[in-house]
Each structure stands twice: as structure tokens, then as C-alpha cells.
Amino acid sequence: PSQFKTSRAQTKQGVITNREFIGRPNLQTTKNNCLSTVELMSAECENALQKNTLNFMEMTKYCLSETHLNIEYLVQELKEKKLVQVGKLVIDDTIDLSSLNVTDNDIPLIIRTIFRKDKIKFTRLILRDNALTSVGVKMLVDRLLMEPMSVKNLGLSSNPDIRDDGIAHLVGLLRSNRSITTLAMHNTGITDQGIGLLADVLCDTKTRPALEKLYISFNKSITDNSLESLTHILEQNQTLTLLSLQHCSLSDRARQRLRRLNKKKNKKKFKLSE
């Protein structure tokens, strides 16, 4: 063909024909151009990768944020659905909402659910082992005062932030609501002051609360300073049949005195830790 020319060279092995490409580009120049192109493409790829990585990270962050919000919404929705079904879960006249991490913010929802117009029938309301404070207790007490013959057994044990402020609200309930016969307040942060409040209402001959069983064990801030109030309860109250006061901080001397008094009265089953 015209683009090739043929030359012959003599060697010891014979005649060799060389076909040389006319106008062939310089090999070094081509190599440099190729390397430059590769470097440029590499840089562009790196920039694109960085940009895409940033975009991906932003998208991931956004998606995680949205997922977190969706999970929170889902958990709340499931909790609401569970509470809405509470009327179907009443067992032996008991609504048990224990260990659900119920907070003060959940109390309005609970109230709307269990005290709705179609009247779920129950006599025991258990909210043990949650995260309630005196604020939630007040909301619950205010609603219970509107249902004078509804709840007979109220369980609030293992809500350590209820404390004496919560006891003050419950004392108001005992004064005005004669349906409460059992009150469980184990591990609720009660101190000697709270025992004094309970003694005032339980020894009041005018109001005469109907309380029969009071559980206040595992309150380590109940000390010998409560001895006088506890003595008054044993001597003067006529309805209480059980007072559970185990694992508090009463001394041996105080416990012995209460046992002697209880034996003398011979009316109440009095439980004390050994």
C-alpha cells in the first residue's frame, strides 16, 4: 500500500524486509499524553468520588435522622395502640401498666384511655416500676377524685422520684376518696416527712380513710424519726390491717418497740424486716 515503503537489509541470516509506518507519531509524546490523560481522569474521579462521598454522608445523616424520628413516632404509636387496647386486657379487674417506662407525659394518655366514656371496668390500677414523679401522681389523683368508687387498689411502687410531694397528693386522695383500700408505695422515695403526712390522714377521726393495706417497704429514708408517726398509726387507726415496712432504715430498738405495740393492740398484721 502507499502508506508503507519497503527496504531490504542484508544479514547473515538472509534478506529481511522492513515495513515502516510513514508519519508514525513520536512514542514518548504519545506516552506523555496518555499519562496526562490518565492523571486528569484520576483527579476528576477523585473529585467526583469526594463529592459523591460527601453527598452520600449527607444523605446517610439525613436518613438516620429521619429514621430516628420515625422510630420515636413508631414507638409512641405502638404505645398508644397498646393503651387503646387496655380495655381488652383487663384481667381480674386489674389494669397493669408496670415496667412500660411510663413518664408523667404519658399520664394524660392513660387517663383518656382508661377513663373513657364507655367505662372500662376495673378496681386495681398498677403502675409499678416506671418513671413517674409527683407531677404524674397529681394528674392521676385529680382524675381519681372524679371517679369516687372506681379504683380500690393503687400500685405505684418502684417509682423512686414520687417522693414526699407525691405522698402529699395521695394523702389528699385518701381524705376525699373512701374507695381506696390498698396503696402500694414500695421504693418511692418516701422520707420521715412523708410518713408524718400519712399518719395525719390515717389518724384523722373526721375523714376516716378506708385504707386497709399500706405497703411502704424499701424506702431507705424512713428512719427512727418516723417512730412517733408510726406509733400513732398503730394506736389510733381503726381500718389498717396490714402495714408493710420492710427494708427501711429503722433501728432494732425502733422495730422492737413497734412489735411490742402491735402485739399489745393485737389488731394488725405488722411486717418488719429482721
C-alpha span between 274 and 251 (Å, rounded): 10
C-alpha span between 134 and 140 (Å, rounded): 10
Vertex 240, ends 153 and 111: CA angle to 5°?
A: 20
Q: How confident is residue 253, by pLDDT bands cut at 50, 70 and 90?
A: very high
pTM of the model: 0.69
Question: Which one of 3.40.50.620, 3.30.540.10, 3.80.10.10, 3.40.50.1860 gives the CATH number of domain 90-272?
Answer: 3.80.10.10
Q: Do residues 268 and 234 make contact, with C-beta atoms less than 8 angstroms apart?
A: yes
pLDDT at position 52 is 59
C-alpha span between 272 and 274 (Å, rounded): 6
Cell digits for 221?
Answer: 429514708
Q: Phi/psi of residue 265, each to 5°? A: -70, -35
3-class DSSP state of 272 = strand
Please, what is the average pLDDT of the chain? 78
Mean pLDDT of 261-270: 72
- Which residue ranges make up each domain of the chain? 30-87, 90-272
User: Which position has the higher pLDDT, 68 or 198?
Assistant: 198
> Mind listing the pLDDT tens digit for each residue in 11-28?
444 444 444 444 455 555
> Mind listing the pLDDT tens digit for each residue in 202-228?
999 888 889 999 999 999 999 999 999
Cell digits for 85?
Answer: 387496647
Which H helix or E strand runs over 66? helix 27-84
Least confident of 40-44, 115-119, 176-180, 186-190: 40-44
Place of cell 413517674: 132
Write the single-letter amino acid at 12.
K
For residue 105, pLDDT beyond 70: yes
Select from 131, 100, 246, 233 the least CA-distant residue to 174.
233
For residue 2, pLDDT beyond 70: no
C-alpha span between 180 and 170 (Å, rounded): 10
> Mind listing the pLDDT tens digit for each residue in 46-90?
565 555 555 555 555 555 454 444 445 544 554 665 565 555 557
Eight-state DSSP code of residue 7: E
User: Which position has the higher pLDDT, 72 or 186?
Assistant: 186
Least confident of 50-64, 84-98, 101-115, 230-244: 50-64
For residue 249, pLDDT beyond 50: yes
